Chains A and B, each alone.
Chain A
Amino acid sequence: MKQFFASLNFPRAVILGSVVLSAILAFFAWQAHSRRVELTDQCEKRVKKLSTEILDLALQLNQYDQRVDADQFGKARDPESYIRSVAYEPNVAIGDVDITPKPVPLRTGLVDKRFMIKPKNRQQPFTRREISNFLYRLEEKSRRVRITHVKVEPQGKVKPDEIHKDVWTFDAEMTSRETTDEAPKKS
């Protein structure tokens, strides 16, 4: 080493310095070049697509916000209130109903919250329009619920060849399938 430095003239020092400096510069140049290639690809191809996707998602989110606003089931204090609010709607006019909740656990983490709905007065006659409006509105006002059971029978005894008065009674079941970690609703 001592001999090496003893013979270290100016050109040799320049060569040595150049080699060391070149190695360092080459490392940084390689890094910078890789970064440049990556950024060029991002700017010229990927970011435009990504921007479009973000704006599309923003529009979707806005729509979901609106749906959440319109979802009466979520807004209602509890499912029974939701059902009764629908039953008392002007075009439904079912009136008071009996609601029997029945949670049915499914596979791990899921539960079907079922609500059996029956008119308070079993003798009260309903038209097909009233019954169908009631059931339709239950599903229409919230995407979270489904009518999973319907039974519509004529009011009173009717023979097969008899034309009845077109008044009916019914019972139905509304189901909301949820994960068990969701905040439990009052049932």
Chain B
Amino acid sequence: MARSCGIRLGQQRFEIVVLEGSSKKAKVIAAGCGEIPAGPDPLAATVDALREAAKRMGVTSENVGLAVDTGMAAFRNVTLPFDDRAKIEEVIKFEVESQLPQWSIDEVVIDFLSLSTKPAESRLLVTAVPKAGLRQLLDACERSGLPAFDAELEATAVLNAAHAAGLFEADGAQILVHVGESASAIMVVDGGVLRSMRAIHIGGLPPRLPAVPESEEAAPSTEDDKAGDAPKPAERPLPTAQESAARLRRELGRTILGTQTDQPLRAVYCAGIEIEGLLDEAAVGAPVRRFEPFQAGEGGAEGAPSQYAAAYGAALARLGEVFHRAHLRREDLAYSGKFERLELPLAVAGLLLVAFLSVFLIINYRVINNREAELYWYLASIKEYVMGNPKKGTPGYLKRPPENLQKYFTDALEDKDVERTRFEQIGRTKTMISNEIIAKQKLLGQDKDIAKPQSALEGLTLVLGVLSEMGDRVGRVGLREMASDYSAGSGNKPDAVTVKISLSFYADDALIATEHYNAFLNEVQSKPWCTDAPSKQTKPLDSGGGIYVEGLTVTLDLSKLQREEVVAAK
């Protein structure tokens, strides 16, 4: 349920009312009042007093409304030839400027109440409140942890409270009197419509410290009762309670006599500080009653409920629709919460962030463009190196460049290959050349996937090469038959070449020839490509000058042969 807090803050005392519900049906949750101790620093004293009261009453900083001394304001009547509120807001300050010679228009907050409106005419009661005094009170609230969302005069707050209490009758007129600390407000309501409002510098408490500059004059009635500027408190003798009551009664009489109401006057309602003798007598034929906005003791309120009328009205205004919505927090006094205070720095920070990101983005794009240009240059250079440059007459590495490669280079340099980045385009040319090489390898039978058969010719040459290498160590050898066959491997058995030779070893005798044969066999067996070379039975030659070996079989694995090209590749 919605909650609100109303504070009436004066120079010497304050009242706080906490409401719950709506403006039409509000319940008092807490109510309290307090004195502001006199001292050299009234602002600090106010802050401390408010903070202590808020803590005691458990008041939170949500939805706070402030009612300030009516004596701070000056009232002026203005008639404008239109009734549009937005237009009135625009012009009211300039309209009333000439009627407030005592202040610079920029030093006051201008608000207004609409007394009567016709389609082509608005009668307004303009209130002017000095910003300096209002700012002090708002600062006090803020520093005490109860920042006010809006501020209004005690008079309008009491008016709202009375309206909510149902005092205004359609068939009668009422007079509302709010006795403040240094000034009192008198409002005439006729048939439920506000007729006039005036401030009288007669308060319920003797003045103590001029904390805020008071308006220099008492506002006249709405009609033509414009009083002169009010004398400063220090210049006036302090009135007694009886004198104040007597003066107020006189002013009431003047008001009643000076106001022509359409409806009969039913009663005079008094709120605020109670002045002895004010309520006891009938004033000019009308009964004087105490206005009590809620039951005594409700919400823990101390004293008469009538003294809380202004705070009650200020709290009501924060709950919803009221009789008159005053709005004194405007221009440079406009409410600003924590976020509002951070708005401007955040906006600046946001703009700086956008600027920083924009610059960062621009720099990155420039670097990217430069890098792209660099890669383009690489691609063009590769093309020139690989394909040559006919215009310059320089040959390329490729004597017969493949057509597809030539076309791709052209397309890439003309940005026709949009699917690839520039670097990928360069990589693509490498792939195309590699593919060409693979195609050539296949054409040459060098497909890496196909193992070529081993050469029987090479195997035979290797074995016979051993005879040649050994020279005199094998003596004279006569070849009788040579055969070499390749056999494909299967399973774990590798490819092999089987060399079968029959040969005669000539020597002085069989013993020497056998030694030559054994030397040859040992040499063959020591070769890395030899996988098997079993000794074979020898026969002495019939002539006795050597031996004959028939069908010497040597098995070779040429994959173990350390070819020069393989070694070079490694």
Q: A29-B361, A51-B378 are in contact. Are A60 and B437 (CB under 8 A)?
A: yes
Q: A54-B382, A57-B433 are in contact. Are A160 and B504 (CB under 8 A)?
A: yes
**How far is it, in angstroms, between the C-alpha of A54 and the C-alpha of B423 when the chains are bound?**
13
Q: A36-B371, A54-B382, A160-B539 are in contact. Are A179 and B450 (CB under 8 A)?
A: yes
Binds B, one of A63-71, A80-88, A119-127: A63-71
Q: A148-B453, A148-B485 are in contact. Are A36 and B397 (CB under 8 A)?
A: no
Determine whether the beta carbon of B455 is less than 8 Å from that of A144.
no
Q: How large is the interface on A (under 10, 10 to 19, 20 to 34, 35 or more residues)?
A: 35 or more
Binds A, one of B24-32, B137-145, B172-180, B351-359: B351-359
Q: How large is the interface on B (under 10, 10 to 19, 20 to 34, 35 or more residues)?
A: 35 or more
Report the minimum CB–CB distance from A124 to chain B (whole Å): 18
Which B411-464 residues have C-beta < 8 A from chain A?
423, 426-427, 429-430, 433-434, 436-437, 440-447, 450-458, 460
Binds A, one of B104-112, B185-193, B309-317, B540-548: B540-548
Report the minimum CB–CB distance from B562 to chain A (whole Å): 19
Contact among A61, A144, A159, A175 with B437 in the assembled complex (CB-CB below 8 Å): A61
Binds A, one of B124-132, B320-328, B342-350: B342-350
Per-residue contact bits, chain A 141-172, to B (CB 8 Å; 1 contact, 0 not): 01111111111111000111101100000001
Which B332-386 residues have C-beta < 8 A from chain A?
343-344, 346-347, 349-351, 353-354, 357-358, 360-361, 364-365, 367-368, 371-372, 374-375, 378, 381-382, 385-386
CB of A15 within 8 Å of the partner chain = yes
CB of B2 within 8 Å of the partner chain = no
**Which chain A residue lies CB-closest to B443?**
A68
CB of B135 within 8 Å of the partner chain = no
Determine whether the beta carbon of B486 is less than 8 Å from that of A177.
no
Determine whether the beta carbon of B482 is less than 8 Å from that of A18.
no
Main secondary structure of the interface of A (DSSP, over half): helix
Determine whether the beta carbon of A28 is less than 8 Å from that of B361.
yes
Compute the total of residue contacts between A and B using a CB distance below 8 Å: 214
Contact among B378, B400, B437, B444 with A71 in the assembled complex (CB-CB below 8 Å): B444
**How far is it, in angstroms, between the C-alpha of A9 and the C-alpha of B488 when the chains are bound?**
90
Determine whether the beta carbon of A32 is less than 8 Å from that of B450.
no
**How far is it, in angstroms, between the C-alpha of A140 and the C-alpha of B318 when the chains are bound?**
107
Determine whether the beta carbon of B444 is less than 8 Å from that of A65.
no
Determine whether the beta carbon of A36 is less than 8 Å from that of B368.
yes
Determine whether the beta carbon of A18 is less than 8 Å from that of B347.
yes
Report the minimum CB–CB distance from A102 to chain B (whole Å): 14
User: Could you list some 10 contacts between A and B, CB below 8 A?
Assistant: A29-B357, A29-B361, A36-B364, A54-B426, A58-B398, A143-B444, A148-B456, A150-B460, A160-B541, A161-B541
List residues of chain A with CB under 8 Å of any chain B CB: 9-12, 14-15, 17-19, 21-22, 25-26, 28-29, 32-33, 35-36, 39-40, 42-43, 46-47, 50-51, 53-55, 57-62, 64-65, 67-68, 71, 74, 106, 110, 112, 135-136, 139, 142-154, 158-161, 163-164, 172-173, 175-179, 182
Taking A50-B423, A146-B452, A164-B478 as given, write out 4 further A-B residue pairs in contact, using a Cβ cutoff of 8 Å, ordered by the A residue number: A18-B350, A150-B485, A158-B480, A160-B548
